[in-house]
Structure 1
């Protein structure tokens, strides 16, 4: 159990400052070195058709270039370690000297607990850590059922380990999208951000519904990439704006889900697993599924509806914790 305080040990302004550091250091690290920065040539939009991505020039650096991905994976990892170190130094600074003398590792233990780096999410709970990790798959019951009907789930007839699994998780793009990206983003924008706001005494609702906006705004820099790839035209600007607004909305909504899981369970594992799972699945494509399988339209509709209802149920009951630093029981005084 981490060292706790009867009242918030830091101010909200301090939490804002740390959050700004987490955000700008993470996004800024992606542009810190030449290999990590994107490079676009000017004057290449004349032969680009509206609404279509242009061809990449040989001396440009785009987001999916191998050297760009490698540089950004390293930069994001180092920035994440820096954010974790910042939280540790903050906890070390507010830990009373008497506690340090009794237990020299108390600051480290408290930091890890506040960052949710634990395999147990609730003391004295009869739930296992796997339960909250299954909430997102329940929501995706419709897409999973459609994949089952198409025989594309793992080890079904149309699924291949060499063609589906390996390219997804061992390619540079896959490592970025499904391993390093989700892990570093959850550590920084979930664990670190929520840890400092909790120490500042922010309300539970604000931590769930406002802190994910930081995660959403951290993706706005992708607009410049989209604008250039689509030719720097008026159409490209419109596409970049629409994609950015959609991504802001989606990442913020997804952030609500992950923030709830983190605060409810006190563990970083459920939101990270959810992040990886949702990245692999992508957005649900109901229209595509019913067009692809018209004879199973009603069954797919029911599966989608059951998934939504199941999500509402499991978010409450599969994540329930009896003893959580971030989510005290009713009537229990807050601990910071």
Structure 2
């Protein structure tokens, strides 16, 4: 069934805020969920169940705020959520390659340190898929967060704010949602309040920046899998540790610095060509 979203701006913002609160709140519905370490196996399994349920609950809520539209250019709720077959292969490959180009410097660091050899070991992958934290960071978190914070929010924001502005509004919910880690750090005695605030503020900044990139990928490709794949890769790589470069002697240091610069320049140059809506058959969103 073809639908359209036509809410007031304040309604769209409040609904997005509701989705964010539901998602974060679901992590704490379990008894002793605040006091128990987030990396505890029992906590991880419970949160897997929580975000799985939320991922099923939010789409019907979103759909309830839509209106039937039988016009020629109308789209289904699944298309608005970025769930479609047209251009799927491209969405699985091109955004990942683009993100790897951006991370050319960190990838060069991995190669220089010999980390890349691990990826050729079957034992590495066997251990990874039996590690709950690995599964959380590389699979469950990317899927659930991108689905809720991109696929379910952007259909509401784009009609009232436009695609370009929505790219910068949407990640605010995503960045602020990560601030809940501060509570866990303080309650569990991992950090003092001041230090936890600094750490969480830094996380707020870079998750907001990534959220803008992720929203851009979603709107350009029209596929939720594009930001999911990019998110999983970024979680795997972690925030670039630029200081590691200075620990190498010349000429390795210069080569690594060059890799960081070349990666950023190439990413900027390829950002729009590699995310062209034409490549993905995207007629749902335009940015």
Q: Give the structure-2-normalised TM-score.
A: 0.89
Counterpart-to-counterpart distance in 1, 2:249 and 2:150: 38
Is residue 2:41 matched to residue 1:26? no
- Note the C-alpha offset of 1:154: 4.6
Q: Secondary structure at the match of 1:283?
A: coil
Q: Does structure 1 retain, via aligned residues, the 8 Å contact 2:23–2:54?
A: yes
- Stretches of structure 1 lacking an aligned partner (at least 5 in a row): 40-60, 101-106, 329-336
- Note the C-alpha offset of 1:128: 3.1
- Note the C-alpha offset of 1:205: 2.7
- In terms of fraction of residues, the more helix-rich structure is 2
Is residue 2:233 matched to residue 1:274? no
Q: Cα gap change, 1:116/1:295 in structure 2, threshold over 3 Å: closer, same or farther?
A: same
Larger gyration radius, structure 1 or structure 2? 1
Q: Cα gap change, 1:290/1:184 in structure 2, threshold over 3 Å: closer, same or farther?
A: same
Q: Secondary structure at the match of 1:261?
A: helix
**Residue number among 64, 84, 87 corresponding to 1:89 in the alignment:** 64
Q: CA RMSD in A?
A: 2.4
* Residues 9-61 of structure 1: CA deviation (Å, up to 9, x unaligned): 222222123212211110111111216x122xxxxxxxxxxxxxxxxxxxxx2
- Note the C-alpha offset of 1:152: 1.9
Is residue 2:34 matched to residue 1:38? yes
- Note the C-alpha offset of 1:121: 4.3
* Residues 106-160 of structure 1: CA deviation (Å, up to 9, x unaligned): x9x71110011124349xxxx933222311100011111122222321567xx63
For 1:117, the equivalent position in structure 2 comes to 83
Q: Cα gap change, 1:318/1:154 in structure 2, threshold over 3 Å: closer, same or farther?
A: farther
Is residue 2:151 matched to residue 1:191? yes
* Residues 141-183 of structure 1: CA deviation (Å, up to 9, x unaligned): 1111122222321567xx6332x33333431111111111110
Q: Cα gap change, 1:310/1:120 in structure 2, threshold over 3 Å: closer, same or farther?
A: farther
Q: Does structure 1 retain, via aligned residues, the 8 Å contact 2:167–2:215?
A: yes
Q: Secondary structure at the match of 1:134?
A: helix
- Note the C-alpha offset of 1:293: 5.5
**Residue number among 244, 251, 263 corresponding to 2:219 in the alignment:** 263
Q: Secondary structure at the match of 2:207?
A: helix
Q: Cα gap change, 1:154/1:169 in structure 2, threshold over 3 Å: closer, same or farther?
A: farther
For 1:75, the equivalent position in structure 2 comes to 50
**Residue number among 158, 161, 165 corresponding to 2:122 in the alignment:** 161
How many residue pairs are counted as aligned between the two chains?
Answer: 281
Counterpart-to-counterpart distance in 2, 1:119 and 1:290: 45
Q: Secondary structure at the match of 1:221?
A: helix
Alignment of 1:224-239 (within 5 A): 224-230=183-189, 236-239=192-195
Counterpart-to-counterpart distance in 1, 2:38 and 2:118: 32
